[in-house]
Amino acid sequence: MNCEETDVQLSEFLDRTLDGDNLRNVREHLAGCPRCSEELGGLAECRRLVSNLGVVEPPVGLVTRIMAEVREAAHRPSILERLFPPVRLKRPLQAAALVLIGILSVYLYQKEDVSNMPPTPVTPEPVLSVQQGPTDFETNKPPAAPIDNPLQNEAKAVSTEPATAKARSAPAATESKAGKEENRLESRQEKFKSAPIPAQGVTTAQEGPSFPGSLSGRGLGSSVEALRQPGDRPAPFAADRLSLLSEPIPDYELVVRRLPSQRADQAAGPAGSQDSLQKRAGRAASKFGEGPRRAEGFSRGNNSPLEILWFSVPYDKYEQFKQELAAQAVVESEIPVGVKEKDASFIADRPLSIKVTVLPSAER
């Protein structure tokens, strides 16, 4: 055994943990090697010095301090216990959190569903009927064509009167087609849940059973002529059942002003007219004008009555309708409220909803 092999085992030799051949070999080497013997002596001296360090007495009261902290910790909930409450509290908390998450999920889902809907032109509101009564646009033109004349049915002026007896008096065919349209609109309206007031009864123009969707001859004249229709007819819209919230958003909103000559004719109109257009429109506007927009327009008109008419016109006949309307009154403004370029293809599939606000003549 050489010095290196012996050196590795000197600590074990010092600790008396060597046995057998290792112990005998180390002893034999140390007996003949002063260098390794001196190394062993140095290690033994170090060991003796360390062991002579002795045992140091702990400070007095250490046990008392330790146990004070131990007893305090024993009665103090741990961090985990504070973070995770016991089951009797955890279960109700988890249940409440689950319910809250569910409610929040439904709410967010509905909100996102509505926000993701395309900005389609808003539905013509259900309650639309043809304006037939005498208007301030009454001229010497002949009265409107008979109801069964298809040329008169190019456009439908509609009012917001609820489906009452008037709706029952309307032709069945008209109701059937208008009903389909209304059902479609109502279903969309329910889906969007945007209208707080449910759709009301629907009635269509009395002058025609349905809107044929084509123009020929007089074109939209019948609808426009409705502005001049004298005689007894239902109110343009049931103002007492309307509110701004239930007002439909038209595709186009036109503001026209009566011609002075029309006012003169209107003044000399048939005495049998039960309710003049001005009175009806004024009453409707005052009732309808709960919102700031209509109230403002009403005041600017020096208490002049105005009339709001609704029309349903095929998309491709709108320009013709506008021309005929311009022949009867001065078109002061045309606002494409619910129409956008990108929606043109969508709108072409259904009639346009047009709102016409009839202002009194300028001479007033």
Which residue matches tokens 């090697």?
33
Give the interface segment with another protein, choosing from 28-36, 54-62, 143-151, 175-183 (CB under 8 A).
54-62
Smallest gap from residue 108 Cβ to another protein (A): 44
CB nearer to another protein: give 42 or 146: 42
**Does residue 53 interact with another protein by CB under 8 A?**
yes
CB nearer to another protein: give 73 or 344: 73
Binding mask 56-85 for another protein (x = CB under 8 A): xxxx--xx-xxx-xxx-xx---x-------
CB nearer to another protein: give 54 or 119: 54
Residues 6+ apart with CB under 8 A from 163: 127, 200, 201, 202, 203
Q: Rounded to the nearest 10 degrees, how much is the dihedral formed by the CA atoms of 102, 103, 104, 109?
A: 90
**Does residue 20 interact with another protein by CB under 8 A?**
no
**Does residue 15 interact with another protein by CB under 8 A?**
yes
Give the interface segment with another protein, choosing from 7-15, 82-90, 156-164, 230-238 (CB under 8 A).
7-15
Residues forming beta bridges with residue 311, ordered by sequence position: 157, 354
Interacting residue with another protein among 2, 4, 31, 52 (CB under 8 A): 52
CB nearer to another protein: give 55 or 165: 55
CB nearer to another protein: give 51 or 333: 51
Binders of another protein in range 304-363 (CB under 8 A): none
Q: Are strands 252-258 and 352-359 parallel, antiparallel or unpaired?
A: parallel
CB nearer to another protein: give 14 or 330: 14
Interacting residue with another protein among 3, 5, 28, 42 (CB under 8 A): 42
Smallest gap from residue 95 Cβ to another protein (A): 30
CB nearer to another protein: give 63 or 114: 63
Residues 6+ apart with CB under 8 A from 8: none
Strand segments, DSSP code E, in the chain are: 156-158, 252-258, 307-313, 329-335, 352-359
What number of chain residues touch another protein (CB under 8 A)? Answer: 33
C-alpha distances in angstroms, 355 versus 199, 267, 270?
A: 18, 25, 27
151 within 8 A of 218, measured Cβ to Cβ: yes
Is 353 strand, coil or helix?
A: strand
Q: Could you write out the DSSP letters of every residue in 75-93?
A: TS--HHHHHS--HHHHHHH
**DSSP letter (8 states) at residue 252:** E
Smallest gap from residue 57 Cβ to another protein (A): 6
Interacting residue with another protein among 23, 33, 43, 264 (CB under 8 A): 43
Q: In the chain, helix, strand, coil percent, each to 5?
A: 50, 10, 40
CB nearer to another protein: give 67 or 99: 67
CB nearer to another protein: give 8 or 108: 8
C-alpha distances in angstroms, 166 versus 107, 146, 233, 342, 357?
A: 41, 18, 10, 38, 23
CB nearer to another protein: give 38 or 148: 38
d(CA 201, CA 128): 9
Smallest gap from residue 79 Cβ to another protein (A): 10
Give the interface segment with another protein, choosing from 53-61, 140-148, 151-159, 323-331 (CB under 8 A).
53-61
Is 69 strand, coil or helix?
A: helix
d(CA 204, CA 202): 7
d(CA 153, CA 286): 30
Interface with another protein (CB under 8 A): 8, 10-12, 15, 17, 42-43, 45-47, 49-59, 62-63, 65-67, 69-71, 73-74, 78
